[in-house]
Structure 1
Amino acid sequence: MAVQPFSFFSAALFARKVCQVYVPDSYHLDEDRRYPVVYLLHGLHGDETSWTVKGNAEATLDALIASRELSESIVVMPNDGGYGHGTFYVNWYDGTGRFEDYILQDLIPTIDHEFRTIADRSKRAVCGLSMGGYGAFALALRNPDVFSAAASISGALVSVSLMTPQDLRSDTTPRIMGPMYGPYAKELDLHVLAGRRVKDEARPALHFNCGRSDFLFPANQAFKALLDQLGYPHEYMEFEGDHQWSYFSEHLTDALRFIEKALQVTEPAR
């Protein structure tokens, strides 16, 4: 197996970007075969190398594929857009950057064009840690025609309904979501987005897990309670652990096993 850097141009950000791409051994042996794709998102202060350098992702993928717990897949580890401490993978209210457009309109089409992917939502999933956990759920719930499954590890599963005015004291939050109770903020609220998708036949399959000592554990519990109330099917797990790479790396396996099951049951679009 191998991870390779792949550079491309983002028109949404008008910048050259680099992602890391994992391809299985068979990719170079069978030129007619196409593969499912998992997009693996990093957290705050991270970059496209975080999952391989800190999270042992390559070895995890090798082991899961070798044990047949994960189908041979292409796994793409992008940069979040590279602005400030983190972009949350969304288009910012203040116009700073179109970070969702960068993922949806630049990265994914380029990967589908340059690699032998199965370019269909039924075989495309997104997973992330912390900020990337929020990004994975926001991208999938806002774009169920693009992703059939999403997974969050220790995710920042925030909701405007649970925020206080103190949460807006940072320089970044208002720039991302605008007025706290405004319409733009609601479009980025995972609780609102889940409510919109719950009755959709093609709603994304969701998995999330979090450590009980993690400062984001209450947000994960609140999101589980919301999904239970809505009747949105999901897989939730909690373990002992804190917000650190040893937890993220260990429980990436839980997220990928769920994605494997979800992609196996999702039918291609007709």
Structure 2
Amino acid sequence: MVTQKIVVAVVLLLASLNSQGQGFIMPPQGKIEYEVIESKVLNTTRNYSIYLPKSYKTEESRQYPILYLLHGMNDTHKGWPTRGHVEDVANQLIDGGEVREMIIVTPDAGTDWNGYFDMEGWSYERFFFEEFLPHIEGKYRVSRGKEERAIAGLSMGGGGSTVYAQKHPELFSSVYAMSALMNIPFVGGPPGLDKKLDLLTQSVIANSSIAFVEKADAATLEKLKAVNWFVDCGDDDFLLDVNIDYVRAMKKVGIPLQFRIRDGGHT
């Protein structure tokens, strides 16, 4: 009897749809778009991916909080949308009422070069703050103020997001560092580096998030307390020790943060 009722219900539904002359209409969902920005600082074009939430195209006067989501080494702006499934995850969290609708943007710091810091031939940090962030928040309807802006990243992107917020605590309300390259976890660098990788290694050392905390004056430390800090790392991750060093440095100077160690490696 139950099976018969289900069959009848399906038949009636199909008949109703057919009588209306249309198929089943899916509810609106947020979508990933791929865009390009011209950079005078880098003297080239740079790609980026951007997730626009489900109401973005219909509520034309609404503004949205934004998350800058940075990729890891040897990856591009397509890493989070493809392997990270950002679109699906964001849609599920938003539809479930767990997070607000937001814009999520991933710049491309990879391809021929890698790195979020300024180095010889690659002034990426300048590009991010002088060109990319103003471009995004001028082109898209982004809510104003640090409370509406967060940054996160994986590996090299985790280190980049941490340092960006350390240098600009007035811009970001929250930082989520995943398996983060807080510093180079070996002395002197690995042997046989090519020039670009050597420059990247030296830039990470020069921008160590651990050293930043250790050397910060009282005024800077006070500003860091106005940011919500999150650190997340695997127990078999080769970067676990430097993440622990960072957490210890933060705790030593009294800056609150959340720290999670999960089962797994650098994945």
- Structure 1 regions of 5+ residues with no counterpart? 245-270
Aligned residues: 233
Query: Could you tell me which residue of structure 1 aligns to residue 107 of structure 2?
Result: 78
Query: Could you tell me which residue of structure 2 aligns to residue 35 of structure 1?
Result: 64
Match of 2:208 among 184, 189, 200: 189
Based on CA coordinates, which of the two structures has the bigger radius of gyration?
A: 2
Identity of aligned residues (%): 24
After TM superposition, the structure 1 = structure 2 runs for residues 79-228 of structure 1, keeping only pairs within 5 Å, are 79-80=108-109, 82-84=111-113, 86-87=114-115, 89-92=116-119, 95-158=120-183, 163-166=186-189, 170-171=193-194, 172=196, 175-176=199-200, 186=206, 188-195=207-214, 196=216, 197-200=220-223, 203-228=226-251
C-alpha contact (below 8 Å) 1:81/1:99 kept by paired residues: no
Match of 1:57 among 86, 104, 110: 86
Q: TM-score, normalised by structure 1?
A: 0.79
Q: CA deviation at 1:174?
A: 5.0
C-alpha contact (below 8 Å) 2:156/2:180 kept by paired residues: yes
Q: TM-score, normalised by structure 2?
A: 0.80
Equivalent-residue separation in structure 2 for 1:214 and 1:63 (angstroms): 28
Q: CA deviation at 1:48?
A: 0.5
Equivalent-residue separation in structure 2 for 1:11 and 1:204 (angstroms): 31
RCO comparison, higher one (Cα < 8 Å, 6+) = 1
Q: CA deviation at 1:169?
A: 6.3
Q: Which amino acid aligns with 1:206?
A: W
Q: How has the CA–CA distance of structure 1 residues 193 and 209 changed in structure 2, closer, same or farther, with 3 Å as cutoff?
A: same
Three-state SS of the structure 1 residue aligned to 2:47 is strand
Mapped pair 1:231 → 2:254 = yes
Query: Could you tell me which residue of structure 2 aligns to residue 252 of structure 1?
Result: none
Q: Which amino acid aligns with 1:25?
A: K
- Give the alignment's Cα RMSD to 1 decimal: 2.2
Moved more, 195-204 or 110-119: 195-204
Q: CA deviation at 1:28?
A: 1.2
Query: Could you tell me which residue of structure 1 aligns to residue 13 of structure 2?
Result: none
Q: Which amino acid aligns with 1:198?
A: L
C-alpha contact (below 8 Å) 1:168/1:174 kept by paired residues: no
Three-state SS of the structure 1 residue aligned to 2:55 is helix
Q: How has the CA–CA distance of structure 1 residues 173 and 231 changed in structure 2, closer, same or farther, with 3 Å as cutoff?
A: farther
Q: How has the CA–CA distance of structure 1 residues 142 and 241 changed in structure 2, closer, same or farther, with 3 Å as cutoff?
A: same
Three-state SS of the structure 2 residue aligned to 1:19 is strand
Q: How has the CA–CA distance of structure 1 residues 203 and 194 changed in structure 2, closer, same or farther, with 3 Å as cutoff?
A: farther
Q: How has the CA–CA distance of structure 1 residues 81 and 47 changed in structure 2, closer, same or farther, with 3 Å as cutoff?
A: closer
